[in-house]
């Protein structure tokens, strides 16, 4: 029996040695079960057959064997038939089991004293394995966390660098924008006074020349006046933009007839631009509560655009309509139109349709300012357009109940 024991110190030789012990006692298998520290059940030790079905029968059987010699009939591996088994306690919470035979306890006397030795051996072996595997896991985990830490650290550094860059860039952009705004403010104000003076002088000269027969000089003066008017509009637009940005666009609200404003604005434009025919469809003469000058500005912007962007297409329709709640004003031309993909942006600041940039003068500010004016009146603004067919720009204004009742 002692001879068999030498085969147990290595798990590879263990199967061979255990089968010899089994045969010695007329059984087919000899297995030592030891407690699994993680599962808290008894399982075959290293090197023994590991297949053990029907745990629900085996575990209670092994539990009894922990205390005393015990025999039973149990399934082993894939056997269809139950096999005779007997178990003997071997200390260290382990059990030795003979499968395929049930020798009486008395027959096992030469084996029993050796069992605590085998139990202790397997238990020690399992502890070593267990701590080795734990140590392995710990080493791997340390390696992984090291890797993770350095990845995190380089990500943190990259983020820090890019934040610093972005912060620096943002500061530069903000400073440039501030400087641009300051320049715009200064330039607009500086230009405004001399231009008003120029305009006054031009008007004075115009009056003086009107009485004379010098038509050529008068023509030059008209041209000069036209250019000064353009500059005045541009400077006023720039000043308006700054006011919108600072929330300082001031409105003087009063009751007035939009229909009158509509006709006078049309007359004003028609007299200065003889190239187009303005067809007026005035279907609404209700009073509106708004800023007369600002609404005139929107209307004139619509009409001058309609003229500017429809060269050679002389018909422009101005229509004032409405219902009990709103007034709608629309300017329709048969001009170059706007591509569908650019139409949604026409009310944005500095936006100009790609096609027009080289051919037509402009800054892309008028519609942006118009949209802000209409928004401040609680109205809506919009446009429909088709390339080479024409465009319709419109705004609606809400009618106050007092206004709709005609007061
Ligand atoms: P500007 O005419 O000075 O460029 P606006 O803000 O008045 O600026 O108009 C913005 C852009 O919308 C114009 O540049 C033009 O491309 C387009 N647009 C405006 N009105 C018309 C129109 N009636 N027909 C075609 N395009 C138009």
Question: What residue owns the CA closest to ligand 1's atom 10?
Answer: 364
pLDDT single digits (tens) 281-303: 987 788 899 999 999 999 999 99
Q: What is the pLDDT of residue 403?
A: 40
The dihedral over CA atoms of 189, 194, 198, 199, expressed in degrees to the nearest 10, equals 20
15: pLDDT strictly greater than 90? no
Span from the CA of 302 to the centroid of ligand 1 (angstroms): 9
pLDDT single digits (tens) 63-104: 999 999 999 999 887 777 889 999 999 888 899 999 998 898
Q: Which residues line ligand 1 (CB under 6 A)?
A: 301, 305-306, 309, 333, 335-338, 346, 351-353, 356, 362-368, 391
8-state DSSP, 72:
E
Question: What residue owns the CA closest to ligand 1's atom 19?
Answer: 305
Distance of CA 388 to the CA centre of its chain: 38
Span from the CA of 362 to the centroid of ligand 1 (angstroms): 8
Span from the CA of 304 to the centroid of ligand 1 (angstroms): 9
* Nearest ligand 1 atom, CA 368: 6
Residue 399: CB atoms within 10 A of its CB come to 21
Give 82's strand partners. none
pLDDT single digits (tens) 145-194: 677 777 777 777 788 778 877 878 888 888 888 887 888 778 887 888 88
Q: What angle do the packed helices 366-376 and 292-308 form, to 10 degrees?
A: 150
Average pLDDT, the chain: 85
Q: What is the pLDDT of residue 402?
A: 40
Span from the CA of 35 to the centroid of ligand 1 (angstroms): 87
Question: What residue owns the CA closest to ligand 1's atom 20?
Answer: 305
Span from the CA of 384 to the centroid of ligand 1 (angstroms): 12
């Amino acid at each position: 029996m002692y001879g068999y024991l030498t085969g147990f110190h290595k798990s590879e030789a263990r199967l061979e040695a255990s089968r010899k012990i089994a045969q010695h006692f007329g059984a087919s298998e000899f297995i030592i079960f030891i407690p699994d520290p993680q599962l808290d059940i008894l399982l075959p030790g290293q090197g023994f057959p590991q297949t053990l079905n029907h745990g629900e029968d085996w575990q209670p059987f092994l539990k009894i064997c922990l205390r005393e010699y015990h025999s039973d009939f149990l399934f082993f591996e894939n056997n269809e038939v139950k096999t005779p088994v007997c178990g003997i306690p071997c200390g260290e919470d382990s059990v030795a089991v003979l499968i395929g035979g049930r020798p009486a306890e008395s027959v096992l006397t030469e084996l029993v004293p050796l069992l605590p030795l085998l139990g202790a051996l397997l238990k020690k072996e399992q502890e070593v394995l267990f701590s080795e595997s734990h140590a392995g896991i710990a080493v791997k985990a340390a390696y992984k966390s090291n890797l993770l830490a350095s990845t995190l650290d380089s990500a943190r550094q990259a983020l820090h660098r890019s934040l610093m860059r972005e912060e620096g860039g943002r500061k530069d952009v903000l400073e440039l924008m501030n400087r641009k705004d300051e320049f715009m403010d200064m330039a607009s104000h500086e230009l405004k006074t001399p231009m008003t003076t120029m305009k006054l002088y031009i008007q004075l000269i115009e009056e003086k020349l009107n009485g004379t027969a010098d038509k050529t000089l008068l023509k030059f003066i008209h041209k000069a006046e036209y250019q000064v008017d353009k500059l005045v509009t541009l400077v006023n637009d720039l000043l308006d933009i700054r006011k919108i940005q600072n929330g300082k666009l001031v409105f003087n609200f009063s009751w007035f007839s939009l229909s009158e404003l509509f006709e006078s604005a049309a007359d004003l434009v028609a007299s200065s631009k003889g190239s187009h025919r303005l067809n007026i469809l005035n279907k609404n003469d209700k009073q509106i509560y708004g800023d007369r000058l600002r609404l005139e500005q929107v209307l004139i912007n619509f009409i001058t655009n309609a003229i500017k962007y429809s060269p050679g297409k002389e018909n422009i329709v101005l229509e004032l309509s409405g219902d009990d709640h709103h007034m709608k004003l629309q300017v329709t031309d048969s001009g170059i139109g706007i591509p569908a993909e650019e139409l949604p942006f026409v009310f944005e600041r500095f936006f100009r349709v790609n096609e027009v940039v080289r051919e037509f003068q402009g800054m892309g500010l008028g519609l942006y300012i118009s949209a802000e004016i209409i928004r401040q009146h609680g109205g809506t603004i919009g446009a429909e357009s088709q390339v080479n067919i024409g465009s319709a720009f419109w705004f609606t204004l809400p009618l106050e109940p007092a206004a709709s009742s005609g007061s």
